[in-house]
Amino acid sequence: MNDINLDDRKCFDMSQPVYDHCPGWPTYEPTIVRLEAEHEKDGFQAEQIRLNSHTGTHMDAPFHFFPSGRTIDEIPIGNFMGHALLVDLRGAIKLKEGISPSHIERYIGNISKDDIILINTGWSHMRGFEEIYHHDWPYLTAEISELFVAKHIKGVGIDCMSIGGWYEGTGRPAHEVLLSHDIWAVEEIYFPDELMEAESCFFMALPLKWRHFSGAPVRAVGII
């Protein structure tokens, strides 16, 4: 892989913040942050955090759904970065609607082998504690997931809580199709509006190296 020259390039933070009791998957225990050392008492500060590995902007490894699948620490580091196609579905997708190949028809011809597909539904700017954010997001259907498999992409990212839906029958298909083919998923991506002026970017999502984990938080970055 060639070195990345950042001269005259713009870097965009595509991660949602993690903090005490931040938004998270509705059935998981909340994120808890506490201080183990404080400036006033100890002369320095250190925090302890209790969180689910699938909190904030995070990556799903195949092990998330498949006992024999790769864990997050087993994925080669080069797989976490590459050319990414920015798919803009803001205003084109409804609440609780499955994203199908027809939704991305104008992008399909531009998908190349080992691309990363980043799907902006507008959900990242809604992040909060409302019921709608935690249950009614758009999601990937099995059909679009199978299209991505056929295109031999490297990974897919979305700004929603999950690539699958919340409601019965909608959560597993995308995960099962993609993860069974070693295609990772990054969920709860943040999309800066300025980044969406571009058609593509160089994307990096580097997960913490947690041994034998099904996923991990990432610091996601887009470069144009």
Domains and CATH numbers, the chain: 11-223 (3.50.30.50)
Which residue, among 211, 214, 208, 160, has the nearest Cα to 49 in the 3D structure? 208
Q: Taking the model in full, what pTM does it have?
A: 0.95
pLDDT digits over 23-66, tens only? 999 999 999 999 999 999 999 999 999 999 999 999 999 999 99
Is a pLDDT exceeding 50 seen at residue 1? no
pLDDT per position as a tens digit, 125-163? 999 999 999 999 999 999 999 999 999 999 999 999 999
- The mean of the pLDDT values for the chain is 97
The pLDDT tens digits for 202-216 are 999 999 999 999 999
What does the pLDDT read at residue 3? 57
